[in-house]
C-alpha cells in the first residue's frame, strides 16, 4: 500500500514537472511571437495541472510542490510580460497605420 501511495505522489510531481516544461516552452514560443503555439501549450498545461492531484488524500511533498509551483509562476510571469510587450508593439503598429491612413485621407481632401 505504501508503495502505491509513493507512486501516486511521484505521479503528481511528474505532472507538475511536465507543467513546468510546458511553461518554459510557452516562454520560448512567446519570444518567437508564435502565439498559436503558446495558446496550444497553455491549453495542454491547463489540462495537466487539473490532473496533478487527482487521487484524493494522496499529495506529493509540500516542499516539492511549492518549489515546482514557484518555478511555474516565475516563468509564467515572463510569458505574461512578453504577451504585454507584444500587445503594446501591435498597438503601436496599428496606431501608426491609422495615422498614415488619416494623413493620406487629409492629403487627398486638400488635393481633391
53 versus 25: the higher-pLDDT residue is: 25
Where do the domains of the chain lie? 2-111
In this prediction, residues 7-18 reach a mean pLDDT of 83
| pTM of the predicted structure, to 2 decimals | 0.76
To which residue does cell 504577451 refer?
83
60 versus 64: the higher-pLDDT residue is: 64
Where does the chain have alpha helices with state H? 2-31, 35-50, 62-111
Between the two ends of the chain, the Cα-to-Cα distance in Å is 87
pLDDT range class, residue 85, cuts 50, 70, 90: very high
Angstrom distance (rounded) from CA 20 to CA 60: 16
- Closest of 1, 5, 43 to residue 35, by C-alpha: 43
Neighbours of 31 (CB within 10 A): 14
Least confident of 17-21, 43-47, 57-61, 65-69: 57-61
Query: Per CATH, which fold does 2-111 belong to?
Result: Methane Monooxygenase Hydroxylase; Chain G, domain 1 (1.20.58)
Amino acid at each position: 500500500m505504501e508503495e502505491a501511495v509513493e507512486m501516486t505522489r511521484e505521479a503528481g510531481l511528474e505532472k507538475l514537472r511536465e507543467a513546468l516544461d510546458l511553461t518554459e516552452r510557452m516562454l520560448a514560443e512567446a519570444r518567437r511571437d508564435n502565439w498559436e503555439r503558446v495558446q496550444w501549450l497553455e491549453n495542454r498545461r491547463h489540462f495537466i495541472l487539473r490532473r496533478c492531484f487527482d487521487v484524493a488524500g494522496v499529495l506529493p511533498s509540500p516542499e516539492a510542490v511549492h518549489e515546482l509551483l514557484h518555478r511555474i509562476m516565475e516563468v509564467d510571469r515572463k510569458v505574461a510580460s512578453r504577451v504585454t510587450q507584444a500587445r503594446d508593439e501591435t498597438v503601436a503598429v496599428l496606431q501608426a497605420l491609422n495615422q498614415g491612413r488619416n494623413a493620406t485621407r487629409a492629403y487627398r481632401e486638400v488635393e481633391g
